[in-house]
């Protein structure tokens, strides 16, 4: 600097020297600029690479769960055995021994299997749920009794894994879950065209099961939906009301400052803490039922409220003051200004915040653990008081199951959860695009 | 806006009324407890829900201790009807139960669970004694030169016993919150350390020190707490042939193509060996029923009946397929009689 200062009087020379100095430094600055951009690109590239690896591994692991190996059995629905009275009484039809019918059919297909142990192995080819499927079909359509029907029943999960190539036939028989004779039967069935990979509709319509081939995601999905409904019904009105009051009406003093700091802090509290709170307040004090979506929804409301309040306040802040002043100027009351002018304009932002809060709530497991929603629940919940689980809980439970076939179910459940999240986030983006106003 | 608030208020009011209603009755069985019994109880519950007109029971996996705590909180529909446990209930827990009004508790034993130490199929089959396992995993071991204890000096298995593999000691096991860990400490570590006369003598002179010496697991990286997920341990074993893992027999049974059991005192963890009691590391599994709820909660008695039936816990019952080790026939008969009569436990 000192060399430049004394020459300030000389007009023509110095700018030229300065210019050269700047020029000389240019390549370095350009390179630095390039490097700076490159760092950003590397960061994005790495992030994308991890995302691709994650998605690829989940999808590759999970897509096979959308197909399930079925076995075709030609079952004779012997009227004398299912309905001895012949009056098609639903209660009698319900109590008939369908398992025996299926076993008879299996024995007829493999007449040379003898011995108790071998027979049990033979019956094991077919899922435990097959007899209940058959029962439900007969109950739905009693005219089937007396006919011979072709029935596609789910194969046992071990067979399913074999057909999907997840079982290594080369390991010694003692180390395999499927023995040599079972492999031979499966090969015979496959050769006769009695084995088929069919779309696994059960996965989307059934509740949880300990038999992997019968386990479905629907129970957990309904549980998640009910929980989110409770959360939305409570957190949206509460959050918006709180935001409107704090942003537009509340006086600025120590109390409102304190409230504001606390709301911001709450947004960062680990979710398990809300679970403990829910257990202490909603279950132990108010005596609400354990494992119910109602309690889950209440707990998740506590968790999403700060997110919604913060997003709603940001949306209110972005409405220009001229709108408020204009409305006030033509004689609207402050409440009318809010209801007819400011809130409608801020609504897209509020909804976006709400949906993002909901998406967060959809992925939570930790608080649900404390209030008993991490449980084995096979029946599909019918209301907010029935015991229920949620999608992420189902993933957690399946990941912990010993049976091999649950590995692909776990990934498939993750795919379903991700699809839900993607849809919710897409809705948030569309809302913002369509209704957002710029000033 | 006013409409919306009205609707919300109405919904809240309805919720409160509904809650009061929901709590006055419950039409499904509520079960809590051990994560070891969970895979068996869920199978029974599902079978029960499908085959009968009752709803499928709800089962939470809370761990044995957590389950008993919930179970003992009182009588009434908001408290669970059954708790599963991978150990017998303690007398102190029964006292808590009684204090909260849970006076009559029915104990039902369902069978045995083998605890296995396993390594990858790619490694050589190994055989250990409980003493060797303790030496490999204890934080402090008796000083080989004389009295006193030193921090565990063993780095490889071969240093403990030359016939064991010459590889770094690396054992993956469950964390302290797990019932499997409790059982491992009780059945392997405690047994192993008492084979040293000096340690055994400590039991009488300084029980606290004895407990600390026997049960404290080393923290220098040889024992890795792998979390509650046993599938993860199996995967890690398959990837690393030098490592050993600790988990329940059902996981070994499901993954025989990847891992093999280590023989303990010369006995491999096989179905027959555990059932006959030859395999030393096995524990009984139980569930406890609240007698005051029998007849109040629909289907409770029938669920217990399904659980103790021969088709469930018999020698070839559907639970044995899942890895539960059945009881000898005579013991089972006693359990069935007990369950049929709903005989509560005698006060200890």
> Does residue B100 come out as left (phi exceeding 0), alpha (psi in the -120 to 50 range) or beta?
alpha
**Cβ–Cβ below 8 Å for A294 and B19:** yes
CATH of A218-435, one of 1.10.3720.10, 2.20.28.270, 1.20.1250.20, 3.40.1370.10: 1.10.3720.10
A262 or B204, higher pLDDT = A262
Q: Give tens-digit pLDDT for A55-108.
A: 999 999 899 999 999 999 888 888 888 877 777 787 778 777 888 888 888 888
Q: What is the pLDDT of residue B21?
A: 46
Does the pLDDT value for residue A258 go beyond 90? Answer: yes
In Å, how far is B208's CA from the nearest CA of chain A? 33
Residue A285's SS3 state is helix
Given this model, what pLDDT does residue A130 score? 87
- Using the Cβ of B38 and the Cβ atoms of chain A, whether some distance falls under 8 Å is answered with yes
Is residue A350 a contact partner of residue A180, using CB atoms and an 8 Å limit?
Answer: no
Token pair belonging to A433: 């695009």
The pLDDT value recorded for residue B9 is: 57
Which of chain A's residues have a Cβ under 8 Å away from the Cβ of B46?
A: 209-211, 378
Which of B1, B46, B60 is opposite residue A210, by nearest beta carbon?
A: B46
Q: How many CB atoms lie within 10 A of CB A166?
A: 14
With a cut of 50, say whether residue A239 has pLDDT above it: yes
A377: nearest CA in chain B? B58
Give ipTM to 2 decimals.
Answer: 0.77
To the nearest whole angstrom, how far is the Cα of A291 from the nearest Cα of chain B? Answer: 9
Q: Which helix (H) or strand (E) holds A55?
A: helix A13-62
Q: How close A289 comes to chain B (CA, Å)?
A: 6
pLDDT band, very low/low/confident/very high, at A140 (cuts 50, 70, 90):
confident
Give the tokens for residue B256: 């025989």
Q: What pLDDT does residue B346 have?
A: 67
10-residue block means of pLDDT along chain B (348 residues)?
55 52 72 88 91 90 87 90 90 90 91 89 89 89 77 88 89 80 86 85 82 87 81 87 88 85 90 84 90 91 91 84 84 89 73
With CA atoms as reference, the chain B residue closest to A136 would be B50
pLDDT band at residue A327 under the 50/70/90 scheme = very high
> What whole-number distance in Å separates Cα of residue B236 and Cα of residue B242?
10
pLDDT(A322) > 70: yes
Token readout for A196 is 């088929």
**CB proximity list for A429: less than 8 A, separation 6 or greater:** none
What percent of chain A is modeled with pLDDT above 70? 96
Verify whether the Cβ–Cβ distance A378 to B251 is below 8 Å.
no
Domain range annotation of chain A: 5-63, 67-206, 218-435
The verdict on a CB contact (< 8 Å) between B22 and A374 is: no
CA A150 from centre of chain:
36
Please judge whether A237 and B8 are an interchain contact, meaning their C-beta atoms are less than 8 angstroms apart.
yes
- Is the CB of residue B92 less than 8 Å away from at least one CB of chain A? no
Handedness of CA A10, A15, A16, A17 (dihedral sign): positive
State both tokens at A379: 């029946």
Closest by Cβ to A375, choosing from B1, B46, B59: B59
- Predicted confidence at residue B180, as pLDDT, reads 78
- Cβ-defined contact of A287 to B30 (cutoff 8 Å): no
Dihedral over Cα of A291, B313, B91, B201: its sign: negative
pLDDT tens per residue across span B242-289: 999 998 888 888 888 888 999 998 899 888 888 888 898 888 899 999
* Residues in chain A within 8 Å Cβ distance of B45: 376, 378
Instruction: Report d(CA B218, CA B135) in Å as an integer.
Output: 10
CA distance A298 to chain B (A): 11
Helix (H, G, I), strand (E, B) or coil at B146: coil
Strands B140-142 and A148-154: unpaired
Question: What angle (nearest 5°) sits at the alpha carbon of residue A256, between those of residues A339 and A323?
Answer: 30
For all residues of chain A together, what is the average pLDDT? 88
Q: Which two tokens stand for residue A140?
A: 């739905």
Confidence of residue A21 (pLDDT cuts 50, 70, 90): confident
Considering only CB atoms, which chain B residues are within 8 Å of A116? Answer: 316
**In the A/B pair of chains, how many CB contacts fall below 8 A?**
116
Q: What is the pLDDT of residue A325?
A: 94
CB contact under 8 A, B257 and A294: no
Contacts of B49 in chain A (CB under 8 A): 378-379
Which parts of A319-405 fold into alpha helices (H)?
A: 321-329, 334-336, 343-362, 366-370, 391-399
Considering only CA atoms, which of B283, B228, B272, B222 is closest in space to residue B251? B228
DSSP count for chain B of H helices, then E strands: 17, 13
Locate tokens 């003493």: which residue?
B131
Query: Pairing mode, if any, of strands B263-264 and B127-128?
Result: parallel
Answer whether residue A203 shows pLDDT above 50.
Answer: yes
Q: Which of A402, A407, A409 to mutate to test the interface with B (most CBs of B within 10 A)?
A: A402
Give the closest-approach CA distance of B136 to chain A in angstroms.
28
Burial class from Cβ neighbours inside 10 Å (0-12, 13-18, 19+) for residue A175 reads middle
The Cβ-side half-sphere exposure at A26, using a 13 Å CA radius, reads 7
Give the mean model confidence (pLDDT) for residues A250-264: 91
Q: Which residue has the tokens 């299996």?
A: A106
A168 contacts in chain B (CB < 8 Å): 257
Mean pLDDT of A109-129: 84
Cα Dmax for chain B:
84
Q: Is the pLDDT of residue A230 over 90?
A: yes
pTM of this structure: 0.80
Q: Can you tell me the distance from the alpha carbon of B348 to that of B346, in angstroms, rounded to the nearest whole number?
A: 6
Residues 226-255 (B) with a CB less than 8 A from some CB of A: 228-231, 250-251, 253-255
Alpha-carbon distance of B64 to A242, in angstroms, equals: 43
- Residue matched to tokens 């690396």: B170
The number of C-alpha atoms within 13 Å of B206 and in the hemisphere containing its C-beta is 8
For chain B, list the domains and their CATH numbers.
27-112+284-341 (3.40.190.10), 114-282 (3.40.190.10)
pLDDT at B230: 79
Q: Which among B4, B23, B250 has the least Cβ separation from residue A237?
A: B4
What are the structure tokens assigned to A37, written together?
């951009």
Using a CB-CB cut-off of 8 Å, the residues of chain A touching B250 are: 402
SS3 of residue A253 by DSSP? coil
Average pLDDT of the residues in A221-247: 95
Cβ-based contacts of B321 with chain A (< 8 Å): 124
Backbone torsion region of residue B152, taken as left when φ is above 0, otherwise alpha when ψ lies between -120 and 50, otherwise beta:
beta
Q: Which residues does chain B have within 8 Å of residue A384's beta carbon, measured at their own beta carbons?
A: 15, 18
For chain A, what percent of residues have pLDDT higher than 90?
Answer: 46
Closest alpha carbon within chain A to B44: A210
Q: How far apart are CA A289 and CA A293, in angstroms?
A: 9
């Amino acid at each position: 600097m000192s060399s430049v200062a004394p020459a300030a009087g000389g007009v023509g020379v110095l700018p030229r020297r300065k210019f050269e100095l700047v020029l000389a430094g240019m390549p370095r600055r350009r390179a630095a600029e390039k490097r700076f951009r490159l760092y950003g690109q590397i960061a994005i590239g790495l992030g994308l690479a991890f995302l691709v690896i994650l998605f690829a591994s989940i999808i590759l692991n999970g897509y096979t769960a959308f197909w399930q190996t079925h076995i075709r059995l030609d079952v004779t629905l012997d009227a004398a055995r299912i309905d001895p009275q012949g009056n098609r009484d639903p209660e009698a039809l319900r109590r008939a021994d369908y398992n025996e019918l299926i076993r008879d059919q299996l024995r007829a297909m493999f007449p040379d299997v003898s011995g108790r142990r071998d027979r049990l192995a033979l019956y094991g080819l077919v899922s435990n749920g097959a007899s209940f499927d058959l029962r439900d079909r007969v109950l739905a359509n009693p005219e089937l009794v007396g006919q011979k029907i072709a029935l596609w029943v789910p194969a046992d999960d071990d067979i399913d894994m074999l057909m999907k190539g997840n079982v290594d036939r080369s390991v010694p028989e003692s180390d395999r879950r499927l023995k040599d004779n079972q492999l031979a039967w499966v090969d015979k069935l496959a050769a006769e065209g009695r084995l088929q990979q069919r779309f696994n509709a059960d996965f989307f319509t059934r509740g949880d099961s300990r038999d992997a081939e019968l386990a479905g995601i629907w129970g957990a999905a309904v549980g998640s939906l009910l929980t989110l409904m409770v959360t939305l019904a409570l957190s949206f009105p509460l959050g918006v009301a709180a935001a409107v009051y704090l942003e537009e009406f509340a006086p600025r003093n120590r109390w409102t400052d304190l409230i504001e700091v606390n709301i911001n802090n709450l947004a960062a509290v680990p979710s398990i803490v809300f679970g403990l709170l829910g257990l202490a307040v909603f279950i132990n004090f108010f005596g609400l039922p354990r494992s119910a979506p109602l309690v889950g929804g209440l707990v998740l409301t506590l968790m999403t409220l700060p997110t919604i309040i913060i997003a709603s306040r940001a949306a209110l802040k972005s409405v220009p003051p001229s709108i408020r002043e204009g409305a006030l100027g033509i004689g609207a009351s402050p409440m009318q200004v809010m209801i007819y002018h400011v809130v409608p304009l801020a609504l897209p932002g509020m909804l976006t915040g709400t949906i993002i809060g909901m998406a967060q709530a959809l992925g939570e497991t930790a608080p649900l653990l404390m209030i008993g929603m991490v449980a084995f629940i096979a029946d599909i919940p019918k209301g907010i008081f029935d015991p229920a689980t949620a999608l992420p809980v189902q993933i957690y439970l399946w990941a912990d199951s010993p049976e091999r076939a649950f590995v692909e179910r776990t990934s498939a459940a993750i795919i379903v959860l991700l699809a839900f999240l993607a849809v919710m986030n897409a809705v948030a983006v569309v809302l913002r695009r369509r209704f957002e106003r710029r000033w | 806006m006013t409409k919306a608030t009205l609707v919300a208020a109405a919904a809240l009011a309805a919720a409160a009324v509904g809650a009061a209603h929901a709590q006055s009755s419950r039409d499904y069985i509520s079960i809590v407890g051990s994560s070891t019994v969970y895979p068996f109880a869920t199978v029974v519950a599902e079978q029960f829900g499908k085959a009968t007109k009752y709803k499928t029971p709800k089962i939470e996996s809370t761990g044995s201790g957590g389950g008993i705590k919930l179970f003992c909180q009182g009588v009434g529909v908001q408290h669970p009807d059954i708790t599963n446990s991978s150990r017998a209930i303690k007398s102190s827990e029964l006292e808590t139960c009684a204090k909260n009004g849970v006076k009559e508790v029915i104990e039902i034993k369902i069978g045995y669970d083998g605890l296995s130490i396993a390594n990858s199929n790619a490694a050589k089959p190994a055989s250990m004694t409980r003493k060797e396992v303790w030496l490999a995993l204890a934080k402090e071991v008796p000083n080989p030169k004389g009295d006193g204890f030193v921090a565990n000096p063993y780095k490889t298995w071969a240093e403990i016993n030359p016939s064991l593999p010459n590889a770094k000691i690396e054992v993956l096991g469950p964390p302290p919150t797990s019932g499997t860990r409790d059982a491992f400490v009780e059945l392997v570590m405690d047994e192993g350390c008492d084979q040293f006369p000096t340690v055994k003598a400590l039991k009488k002179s300084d029980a606290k020190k004895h407990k600390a010496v026997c049960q404290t697991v080393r923290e220098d990286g040889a024992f890795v707490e792998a979390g509650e997920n046993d599938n993860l341990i199996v995967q890690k074993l398959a990837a690393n042939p030098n490592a050993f893992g600790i988990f329940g027999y059902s996981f070994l049974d499901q993954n025989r193509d990847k891992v093999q059991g280590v023989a303990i005192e010369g006995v491999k963890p096989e179905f027959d060996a555990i059932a006959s009691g030859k395999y030393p590391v096995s524990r009984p599994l139980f569930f406890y029923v609240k007698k005051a709820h029998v007849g109040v909660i629909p289907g409770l008695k029938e669920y217990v009946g399904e659980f103790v039936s021969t088709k469930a816990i018999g020698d070839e019952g559907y639970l044995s397929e899942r890895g539960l080790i059945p009881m000898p026939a005579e013991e089972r008969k006693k359990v069935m009689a007990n369950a049929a009569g709903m005989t509560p436990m005698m006060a200890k």
